[in-house]
Copies of this chain bind each other. A is one copy, B any other.
Amino acid sequence: MIADNSAPTTREQCVALDRQDVLRPFRDEFALPAGVIYLDGNSLGARPRAAAARAAQVVELEWGEGLIRSWNTAGWFDLPRRLGNLLAPLIGAGPHEVVVTDTTSVNLFKVLAAALRVQGARAPARRVIVSERSNFPTDLYIAQGLADLLQQGYTLRLVDSPAGIDDAVRDDTAVLMLTHVNYKTGEMLDMTALTALAHERGALTVWDLAHSAGAVPVALRDAGADYAVGCTYKYLNGGPGAPAFLWVSPSLRDDFSQPLSGWWGHAAPFAMEPGYRPHAGVARFLCGTQPITSIAMVECGLAMFARADMAAVRAKSLALTDLFIALVETRCAGHPLELVTPREHHRRGSQVSLYHPDGYGIVQALIERGVIGDYREPGIARFGFTPLYTGYADVWDAVEILRDVLDSGCHREARFQIRGAVT
């Protein structure tokens, strides 16, 4: 491992970088606990200060005072589409192409089912869903659940690394289902090239943007992608378990209705007709009644991104991850740490994963000392870097604490147990 020579080599240089940082003012808009360096915004984003007032508004005024009237007067009915429009620019989508609703798992089921139906009409022999074995597990579970439900030869083909995708997408392949930035390694795939590869072979693409939206620039339309889902509670700071999002290419979205055909996706949701008629456009991917308090808070994070320059976010993300890698390699030299995340910028998301035989103990020891990252089997300490509220001095301090932990040997004492953070 070779350090990047352009990275700061003193804490003072880091403080100076923070002072010059155009994104620094956003930090004050977050409520961060004292004494914590939070490097787990890739699992659960920090709380925008505005979220507390928004939750109180929903609970006390909209629910408590407005009661049922708030469906109209407080705009509850429009939330999934209005928030979708706010989110769209962050993923290279147009207006009226995105909805915020349900969970990533449920949305993945909807778009996978829709994609298989499109293929069922176009090329019914295509019954294979190709994905990576290292994809986020719930994505694989959902694909398995759908294939098991459909039977009729639908199956999942998993490759061991992105290099295997080329060989795996064949004339039997209906869908290439990938996560853009891998949750464990932080590796970012080339959406444009892989979408083109899939299309050349007659397959459709489903992209999971859980670790991409708000973390790296995403250009769904420019990449020619077909379907995408993603998460609002990681880099978008929507709140714990906040509803997810879903995008469908305008060229595909009116082709079929998805099977979770609930009232919110009906062409006339208040007419109470006994027969389902899908709404035009992406609204047909809505299903049941959404958790209003949780979904309303999604706006607080999106409102910040509307004022942030995504190019500046990406530049700072790369600078922070470069700095972290460089400092780990210089300050923690001699310890058996291995960089899991790709070093090349174009292959790196907004996280750094390090392998260490005692990875679990290291993460526990860091958390005890106020540096919150998380652990993923086997041996991977995972650190997310969120440019809106993480600074260069935070990175310096985190690495110094990591060095202290490693030098002290206290990480060897942690008892291993699998239980913990999500995603």
Contacts and interface: CB of A to CB of B under 8 A. Distances in A.
Contact of A240 (B76, B257, B258): B76
B142 A272 contact: no
Contacts of A258: 145
Contacts of A276: 140-141, 144-145
A126 to B, nearest CB: 16
Nearest to A42: B68
Contacts of A418: 268, 270-271
A307 interface: no
A373 B52 CA distance: 31
A269 B56 CA distance: 32
A103 interface: yes
Contact of A243 (B76, B291, B420, B423): B291
Nearest to A145: B261
A399 interface: no
Nearest to A132: B274
A121 interface: no
Interface stretch (A5-13, A146-154, A330-338): A146-154
Contacts of A51: 59, 63
A102 B101 CA distance: 11
A144 B275 contact: yes
A69 B367 contact: yes
B240 A138 contact: no
A272 B59 contact: no
In this complex, which of A68, A262, A271, A420 has the most chain B Cβ atoms within 10 angstroms of its Cβ?
A68
Interface stretch (A293-301, A316-324, A342-350): A293-301
Contacts of A261: 141-142, 144-145
A213 to B, nearest CB: 15
A36 interface: yes
B294 A292 contact: yes
Interface in A141-178: 141-142, 144-146, 148-150, 158
A272 B63 contact: no
Contacts of A288: 102-106, 138, 244
A214 interface: no
A379 interface: no
Contacts of A137: 263, 266, 272-274
Contact of A68 (B68, B109, B257, B372): B372
A415 interface: no
A58 interface: yes
Nearest to A62: B240
A321 to B, nearest CB: 19
30 contacts: A31-B64, A33-B65, A44-B63, A51-B59, A52-B59, A67-B372, A68-B421, A68-B422, A69-B367, A69-B372, A104-B288, A105-B262, A105-B288, A134-B274, A140-B274, A140-B275, A140-B276, A144-B275, A150-B150, A239-B291, A240-B292, A241-B291, A241-B292, A270-B418, A270-B419, A289-B423, A291-B295, A292-B294, A293-B293, A293-B294
Given A44-B68, A47-B60, 20 more contacts: A33-B64, A36-B67, A52-B60, A55-B59, A56-B56, A62-B240, A68-B372, A70-B240, A76-B241, A102-B103, A103-B262, A104-B289, A105-B287, A106-B288, A140-B276, A145-B259, A145-B276, A241-B293, A268-B418, A293-B294
